A and B are shown apart, each in its own frame.
Chain A
Amino acid sequence: MTQVIVVTSGKGGVGKTTTSASFATGLALRGFKTIVIDFDVGLRNLDLIMGCERRVVYDLINVIQGEANLHQAMIKDKHCENLFVLPASQTRDKDALTEEGVEKILKDLEHMGFDYVVCDSPAGIERGAVMALTFADEALVVTNPEVSSIRDSDRILGILQSKSRRAKEGRESVKEHLIITRYSAKRVEEGEMLSYKDVQELLRIPLLGVIPESESVLQASNAGSPVIHSKGSEAAEAYADVVGRFLGEEHPMRFVSYEKPGLLKRIFGGA
C-alpha cells in the first residue's frame, strides 16, 4: 500500500518545501521507495531544494496532459537510491492540475511499488493546495510559532476535514501531524515567541517534531541538498527524529529548551 502524505501549512514561507525535501529524503534513507511531488505550479521550488533543477525536462503538468509519461518526468535523486522527484511546471497555469490527473499519477505510483508519496503543497487554500491534500492519507502541518501561521494551519486543517477524499467518502479521517519549524528556544525563554506547547494547545493535533531555527537550513537550500544531509546540524537531527517518530519510534523532543550559557562559555565563546 502506498501512503500519500501531504506537507501543508496554509501560510507561505514557513518551511513546507524544506520539510518535504528532508522528510522524503529521511524516508528514503530508511530504505523506503519514496517520491516527492511539487504541487506549486507556477512557483516551483522543490527541484532547487533537492538540487535537481538542471535535470528537469518534463513536469507534473506534462504528465497530467499526456505529453510525457510518468517515467520520463520522474527525476532520480543524486544521493539516495530510492528517492525520486516529480517537479512542478514553472510555465503552466495551475488550472491544468486536475483531480483525475493527480489520481491517475498516484495509481501509477502505487503500481510502481512506491512506499511513500510526499506531496509538497503550495501556500494558500486554492486549487493547488486542495489538489495536494485531496488524496492524502496523512498530513504534516508545518507551522511557525507565530499567531498568523497558527491561524492558517487551523484553516488548512478544516479544509483537510472537508475536502480530502477520505472525508468525502466518509472513511477514517486523514491522520494529522504537527511540525513546528523555525523554533528558537532562546526567544521562547525570553518571552518573545510562543512555546511549542502553546502552539500544540491551539491546534490540538499530535506533535511530530520541533525543528530549530538554524543557519544550516539556508545553507542547505542554497547548496541544493536537503538539510537532513547536513551532518551535525540541529535541524538535520530534528528532521531525522521526525522521520523516526513518523515510523513509530520514540524519541524525546530535542532543541526545545534553552540553557543560559555559563560564565566560561561567555568568556571563551560557544562551541
Chain B
Amino acid sequence: MVKAIEFKAGSLTAMTAVLREVDNVRLADALQVMLGGMGEFFGGEPTIIDLSQVKHIPDRVDWPGMQSLLRRYGLQPVALRGAPAHIHDAARKAGLAVLADQVSSINAKALSIETAPETAPDTAEPAQASLPLEPPTTNTMVVERTIRSGQQIYARGADLVLIGGVSHGAEVIADGSIHCYGPLRGRALAGASGNAGTRILTTSFGPELISIAGVYRTFEQGIPQAIAGKAAHALLRSTGGKQTLTLEPLQLD
C-alpha cells in the first residue's frame, strides 16, 4: 500500500531577516526605503526571523501583520530564532517554528533551560509544504587560479567556474554545475546537495572521479579514448526510471 504521507529529513537554505524592531509600522517604513516598494523582491524565499538583536521585545507581537508584511516582499517566514520564551507560544500559534539559537549566546542560554518541542506546530501553513528543498543554484563562483593537489573548493549553492584547471589530487565541489576551462584532473562533484540537473563540463577531460547528485564514477580502466584530454561533459540521464551518469564529447568549434 502506498503511504499517504512520508517523512524525510532535509536541509534548506533560508534567508535570515535580522530585525532590530518588532513594530510592523516601522518595519514597513524600513522595507519601503530599502526596496522602494518593489513587491516580491525576494521571490518567495523561506525566511527565518531573527530577533536576537531587538533590544526591547513587547509582550505581544503582531505576528500575522509581520508575516503578511514580509510576504509582500516575497519573503516566506517559516521560523523564528533568538526570541525570548514569553513569545514562543504566540509565534507557534501563528505558524512559525521556534528554532534553538547557537548564534546568540544569551538567548541560547535562555533557550537551553526550556526544552523546545522539535516537531513542527500542527497549525503549519500549507505554503511551507511546497517550499523548494534544494538550495537555489543561481549564483556563480569563479576561480581563476589552478586548483592544486590537496586543495578543495566548494561552491555552496552556486555554479563553479574554474579558469585555471584542476590538478590531480584536488577536489572541486558545487551545489550547481562545474565548468572547467582547462584540464580537469582531480575529483569533481556537481549537484552536491542533490540537484540531478547539474553537469560537469570541461575543455580537457581527465578526472580521477566525477559525481553528479551522488551518482559517481571512477576511471580505474582509464578515461574513454573519445573524450580523454578533450572537451566533454558529464550529466545524468534517466533511462527506465534509473539515473545513469553519461559522458559525452563536446564540439567546441
Binding site for B on A (CB under 8 A): 151-152, 154-155, 157-159, 161-162, 173, 202-204
**Which residue from chain B places its CB closest to the CB of A158 in the assembled complex?**
B148
A-B pairs with lowest CB-CB distance, top 4 = A158-B148, A154-B149, A155-B149, A158-B151
Besides A154-B168, A161-B151, A204-B146, 18 other CB < 8 A contacts? A152-B149, A154-B148, A154-B149, A154-B167, A155-B150, A155-B169, A157-B146, A157-B148, A158-B149, A161-B145, A162-B151, A173-B145, A202-B167, A202-B168, A203-B167, A204-B164, A204-B182, A204-B183
Could you jot down 26 A-B contacts, CB within 8 Å? Answer: A151-B149, A151-B168, A151-B169, A154-B167, A154-B168, A154-B169, A155-B148, A155-B150, A155-B169, A157-B146, A157-B148, A158-B147, A158-B148, A158-B150, A158-B151, A159-B150, A161-B145, A161-B148, A162-B151, A173-B145, A202-B167, A203-B167, A204-B146, A204-B164, A204-B182, A204-B183
**Which residue from chain B places its CB closest to the CB of A167 in the assembled complex?**
B145
Q: Given the complex of chains A and B, what is the CA–CA distance between A162 and B148 in angstroms? A: 11
Interface residues of B in 124-151 (CB under 8 A from A): 145-151
**Which residue from chain B places its CB closest to the CB of A201 in the assembled complex?**
B183
**B212 part of interface (Cβ distance < 8 Å):** no
CB-defined contacts of A204 to chain B, threshold 8 Å: 146, 164-165, 182-183
Binding site for A on B (CB under 8 A): 145-151, 164-165, 167-170, 182-183
CB-defined contacts of B169 to chain A, threshold 8 Å: 151, 154-155
Q: Given the complex of chains A and B, what is the CA–CA distance between A203 and B182 in angstroms? A: 12
Q: Given the complex of chains A and B, what is the CA–CA distance between A217 and B146 in angstroms? A: 33
Q: Given the complex of chains A and B, what is the CA–CA distance between A129 and B147 in angstroms? A: 20
Q: How near does chain B come to A92, taking the closest CB pair, in angstroms?
A: 28
Q: Given the complex of chains A and B, what is the CA–CA distance between A125 and B169 in angstroms? A: 15
The A-B contact count (CB < 8 A) is 36
**Residue with the highest number of chain A CB atoms closer than 10 Å, among B148, B167, B183:** B148
**Which residue from chain A places its CB closest to the CB of B151 in the assembled complex?**
A158
Interface of A is mostly: helix
CB-defined contacts of B165 to chain A, threshold 8 Å: 204
Q: How near does chain B come to A198, taking the closest CB pair, in angstroms?
A: 12
**Which residue from chain A places its CB closest to the CB of B164 in the assembled complex?**
A204
Q: How near does chain B come to A14, taking the closest CB pair, in angstroms?
A: 16
CB-defined contacts of A173 to chain B, threshold 8 Å: 145
Contact between chains at B170 and A158 (CB < 8 Å): yes
Q: Given the complex of chains A and B, what is the CA–CA distance between A152 and B183 in angstroms? A: 18
Q: Given the complex of chains A and B, what is the CA–CA distance between A11 and B27 in angstroms? A: 60
CB-defined contacts of B170 to chain A, threshold 8 Å: 158
**Residue with the highest number of chain B CB atoms closer than 10 Å, among A151, A158, A159, A203:** A158
**Which residue from chain B places its CB closest to the CB of A150 in the assembled complex?**
B168
Q: Given the complex of chains A and B, what is the CA–CA distance between A157 and B170 in angstroms? A: 12
Q: Given the complex of chains A and B, what is the CA–CA distance between A227 and B233 in angstroms? A: 49
Q: Given the complex of chains A and B, what is the CA–CA distance between A44 and B160 in angstroms? A: 44
Q: How near does chain B come to A257, taking the closest CB pair, in angstroms?
A: 24
CB-defined contacts of B148 to chain A, threshold 8 Å: 154-155, 157-158, 161
**Which residue from chain B places its CB closest to the CB of A204 in the assembled complex?**
B146
**Which residue from chain B places its CB closest to the CB of A125 in the assembled complex?**
B150
Q: How near does chain A come to B182, taking the closest CB pair, in angstroms?
A: 8
CB-defined contacts of A162 to chain B, threshold 8 Å: 151
CB-defined contacts of B164 to chain A, threshold 8 Å: 204
Q: Given the complex of chains A and B, what is the CA–CA distance between A159 and B170 in angstroms? A: 12
**Residue with the highest number of chain A CB atoms closer than 10 Å, among B147, B164, B167, B168:** B167
Q: Given the complex of chains A and B, what is the CA–CA distance between A59 and B147 in angstroms? A: 37
**Residue with the highest number of chain B CB atoms closer than 10 Å, among A151, A154, A157, A203:** A154
Q: Given the complex of chains A and B, what is the CA–CA distance between A162 and B151 in angstroms? A: 10
CB-defined contacts of A154 to chain B, threshold 8 Å: 148-149, 167-169
**Which residue from chain A places its CB closest to the CB of B229 in the assembled complex?**
A201
CB-defined contacts of A159 to chain B, threshold 8 Å: 150
Q: Given the complex of chains A and B, what is the CA–CA distance between A157 and B147 in angstroms? A: 9
Q: Given the complex of chains A and B, what is the CA–CA distance between A173 and B164 in angstroms? A: 14
Q: How near does chain A come to B76, taking the closest CB pair, in angstroms?
A: 38
Q: Given the complex of chains A and B, what is the CA–CA distance between A154 and B168 in angstroms? A: 8
Q: How near does chain A come to B105, taking the closest CB pair, in angstroms?
A: 30
Q: How near does chain A come to B75, taking the closest CB pair, in angstroms?
A: 35
Q: How near does chain B come to A141, taking the closest CB pair, in angstroms?
A: 11
Q: Given the complex of chains A and B, what is the CA–CA distance between A159 and B167 in angstroms? A: 13
CB-defined contacts of B146 to chain A, threshold 8 Å: 157, 204
Q: Given the complex of chains A and B, what is the CA–CA distance between A163 and B234 in angstroms? A: 33
